[in-house]
Chains A and B, each alone.
Chain A
Amino acid sequence: MLRIENLSLTIRAQREEIPVLHSVNLTVGRGESVGIVGESGSGKSMTLRSILRIEPDGSTVTGRITFDGTNVLELSGEPLRRLRSHEIAMIAQNPHAVLNPVLAVGRYLVEGMHDAQGMPTRAAKLRAGELLEQVGIDDVDRVLRSYPHQLSGGMLQRVVIAGAIAGNPKLLLADEPTTALDVTTQAEVMAILDDCRRELGMAMLFVTHDLDLAAAVCDRISVMKDGVVVEDGVPDQLRDNPRHPYTRELMASRPASIAWHGSKGATA
């Protein structure tokens, strides 16, 4: 369904060309969950953003990104807008930045359904309430009336998830959706995201620096470093038999893995 071939991206900052991605190859099948794991600055987020063509101004993108057979990199105008509103939805890292601080939460949801997807305002307002219930929010009316600064990050990220699943897209792009949240709410939000995705049969491209988390929710994982996919495979294989030294490093740097290494060392 989604096929990224030889994707390269260069950002221009102060007349300097900074290469960010080198020939990235990646596929996501229908209903499949694929993870991209890597450290900050490895190009994971940029890969996601180029799929929706929201890479920074002045970037050059080469290669192919095909979604259901059409090359996204050649899209513009109305077809591109339709792709964004109906086919692919994104959940970004910091929900407090994603929602406009001067608009009430309800407006955010209605904007997505009415202004982007063309649903009548009244229907969109009703649906907004249903969606919030679906992502586990109890006092729906209060949340809809609230402004972003009045709600916690976890609550807002649920709102963003509700907005993302509103149009029943085929693909969810999740860019470290729990990193900016309190540790206590991370698991909860992740569970909600994963449940919604499975229930609605959406595919997901999930970006994280947390290999364990990726292993838990993804069918396949690509490991990225410095704009290059260094290794990909199913979670078990990456964990038990990492081929690339960087993957091994990632495995070793997990907090939980210290004890695991210790016991391994004892038997060796």
Chain B
Amino acid sequence: MFIVRRLLALVGVLIASSFLVFAAMYAAPGSPENFLVQGRTVSPDVLAAIRQQYSLDDPFLVRYWNWLVNVLQGNFGLSLTNRQDVGELLANRLPTTFMLVAMAAILIVIFGIGLGVIAGLRDGVVDKVIILTSNLGFAIPTFFAALILMSIFSVSLGWFPVFGSGEGFLDRVWHLTLPAVALSLPSAAVVARITRTSIREERGSEHSVMAVARGVRNALVVRRHVIRNSMLPVTTIVGVHIAGLIAGSFVVEYAFTLDGIGTLLVNAVQRKDFAVVQAIAIILVAAFGVMNLLVDLLYAAIDPRVRGVRA
């Protein structure tokens, strides 16, 4: 029941946002046919022919409907610039971005939550060092972190490649390690902070204190009462940040010249390649939606109050 409700909500969000994505492109200045003729002076007849070829003269809602029906069938149309199938274009690019985001997500979970838990449980020096590091990680812009990482680990030490996405799984992991680190830094820092605060709050919570008062061993209180309960807010933050990584990956892809959808999007926007931009925007929204759905499900698994368990 809970899942069904969430799925319906996700579908609603996707439909609404697909409309926004479609509408926004037409609200933007400049028109696609002007780009297609690339500034050459052409006769109105040619322009009209182009408009007809791309069905630009149809009423807005009709165009939206046709586009939506095609998208639902997995047909994102043709790129306006090189007449390639957008779906194919994306299929070539998605694995790099997906892997980059997945690796960054793993780093965020391991280091963000891990360091946050340690800082929350320890007082004194360990805590201070982790806070300082997290402040630093949060303050450094991603592109700058990318440059520093490259100059240290690729150029000076030669441990990692400077650009490219690699072939095959292990080679890809090797190529994407530095980009993933750069991408995960700010989010890992935020997650570490939230985790630390949450852990501290739960340490002082009445049910943790009373568990101690009942003679439950400290390690068990920490595991069962402090860490488990502190993961409620952390789950939300981690989910939002991982979903946001897809958008953030564009900067990193550019810095490390990776052939992901980020670079594709930047190029498409510059060339006003509607079909590509719309497709990527929809994928972003869908990924965000799915991520949020996963977080909700996880949340429900942890917290009976969210599951809607009633008396």
Contact = CB atoms under 8 A, between A and B. Distances in A.
Given A97-B205, A97-B207, A116 B304 contact: no
A1 to B, nearest CB: 18
A14 to B, nearest CB: 15
A157 interface: no
B210 A115 contact: no
A202 interface: no
Contact of B211 (A49, A89, A111, A149): A111
Contacts of A82: 215
A111 B216 contact: yes
B305 interface: yes
Contact of B304 (A49, A89, A115, A149): A149
Contacts of B211: 100, 111
A81 B213 contact: no
Nearest to B215: A85
Nearest to B202: A100
A100 B207 contact: yes
B207 A84 contact: no
B99 interface: no
Contact of B206 (A83, A89, A94): A94
A98 B207 contact: yes
A102 B216 contact: no
A90 B305 contact: no
B47 to A, nearest CB: 63
A97 B213 contact: no
B206 A98 contact: yes
B209 interface: yes
Given A98-B207, A150-B310, A116 B302 contact: no
B209 A147 contact: no
Interface stretch (B69-77, B138-146, B217-225): B217-225
Interface in A90-123: 90, 92, 94, 97-104, 111-112, 115-117
B56 interface: no
B210 A98 contact: yes
A173 to B, nearest CB: 9
B309 A147 contact: yes
B214 A101 contact: no
A84 B221 CA distance: 14
B311 A84 contact: no
Interface in B261-311: 302-305, 309-311
B304 A84 contact: no
A66 interface: no
A49 B216 CA distance: 16
Contacts of A112: 214-216
Contacts of A61: none
B215 A100 contact: no
Nearest to A118: B215
A146 B210 contact: no
Contacts of A235: none
Interface in B36-89: none
Given A100-B224, A149-B305, A117 B215 contact: yes
A117 B175 CA distance: 54
B296 to A, nearest CB: 16
Nearest to B205: A97
Nearest to B207: A100
B62 to A, nearest CB: 50
B229 interface: yes
B220 A115 contact: yes
A113 B211 CA distance: 12
A90 B232 CA distance: 28
A213 interface: no
A71 to B, nearest CB: 18
Give the one of A83, A97, A102, A163 with max B CB within 10 A.
A102
Interface string A48-81: 0100101011000000000000000000000001
B206 A101 contact: no
29 contacts: A54-B209, A56-B204, A57-B204, A81-B217, A82-B215, A85-B215, A89-B214, A90-B210, A90-B213, A92-B206, A94-B206, A100-B224, A100-B229, A101-B207, A101-B303, A101-B305, A102-B228, A102-B302, A102-B303, A102-B304, A111-B214, A111-B216, A111-B224, A115-B217, A146-B311, A147-B304, A149-B304, A150-B311, A163-B214
Interface of B: 204-207, 209-217, 220, 224-225, 228-229, 232, 302-305, 309-311
Given A49-B213, A111-B216, A117-B215, 11 more contacts: A54-B210, A81-B215, A92-B206, A92-B210, A94-B206, A97-B206, A98-B207, A99-B207, A100-B229, A146-B311, A163-B214
Considering the complex of A and B, which 10 residue pairs feature the smallest CB-CB distances, nearest first? A85-B215, A84-B215, A97-B206, A150-B311, A116-B215, A147-B304, A100-B207, A52-B213, A54-B213, A98-B210
